[in-house]
Amino acid sequence: MQFLSQNLDFPDPEHASEEGLLAIGGDLSTDRLLLAYRSGIFPWYDRESPILWWSPDPRMVLFPDKFVVSKSLRKTIRSEVFDVTFNMAFEEVVSNCASIKRIGQKDTWITPEMKEAYIQMHRLKHAISVEVWKNDELVGGLYGVDLPEKKLFCGESMFSKVTDASKVGFYHLVAHLKSEGYQLIDCQVYTTHLESLGAEEIARKDFLKYLNY
């Protein structure tokens, strides 16, 4: 594990600890964040911690062709009860992801500093959002970092206020990424929810190959 200086660099991801922690410190500038994501690294910490940088092994990913659409989700999509947009309310999506209550989680890792960093990424067209609306109310969504030159999308967080809202947003994101020839969606770490959608764990070394690292 390395303490970062003001120099814009990271250690080799293979030097991460067994838990995946690679480095501490640095900043959340757009240049550093882009370097991190292009190197298979992401920030994840809470309000009481310094900035922590991770590159876990294994890595949770979704191959777009393996996205699982359940019968109930397909029925919801056909019902057209939701409207879906892209990049229409990025700040609102991040705010909702930060404030939504999650089982087993006392506080959010989306700190004000983190929120502002990704808003700036979005302004520079490096981060995108998907919004899910019902009766003109934002009821679900997700956001992440877009690496079009790598044909890879790095998912950051999602939220849902009504059943299936975030899944519908994810469905439309996957459809969009497939149409653009994307090869991979980075989901970072394992959850049963992601697994139910078709995501799987692969070795870090295999994940890094998609980044030509």
Q: Clarify whether residues 91 and 194 are in a common domain.
A: yes
Residue that terminates a domain, selected from 15, 40, 56: 56
Q: What is the pLDDT of residue 109?
A: 80
The dihedral over CA atoms of 151, 152, 157, 160, expressed in degrees to the nearest 10, equals: 50
Tell me what pLDDT residue 108 has: 66
The sign of the CA dihedral 99, 48, 127, 149 is: negative
Eight-state DSSP code of residue 88: S
CA neighbor of 197 nearest in space, from 208, 185, 206: 185
Give residue 41's domain range.
2-56
Same domain, 81 and 24: no
Distance of CA 191 to the CA centre of its chain: 13
Residue 103's pLDDT is what? Answer: 52
pLDDT for the residue 1: 80
Please tell me whether residues 80 and 184 are part of one structural domain. Answer: yes
| Phi, then psi, of 172 in degrees rounded to 5 | -70, -35
Please give the angle made by the CA atoms of 208, 146 and 99, to the nearest 5 degrees.
105
Cα dist. 96→92, 108, 115, 133, 139 in Å? 6, 11, 11, 13, 9
d(CA 208, CA 106): 32
The whole-angstrom separation of Cα 128 and Cα 88 is 9
- Split into its structural domains, the chain has a count of 2
Look at residues 14, 37, 56 and tell me which one is the last residue of a structural domain. 56
Letter for the amino acid at 57? D
The three-class DSSP label of residue 197 is: coil
CB 26 within 8 A of CB 53: yes
pLDDT block averages, 10 residues each, the chain of length 213: 92 96 98 98 93 98 97 96 98 95 61 96 98 98 98 97 97 98 97 96 97 81
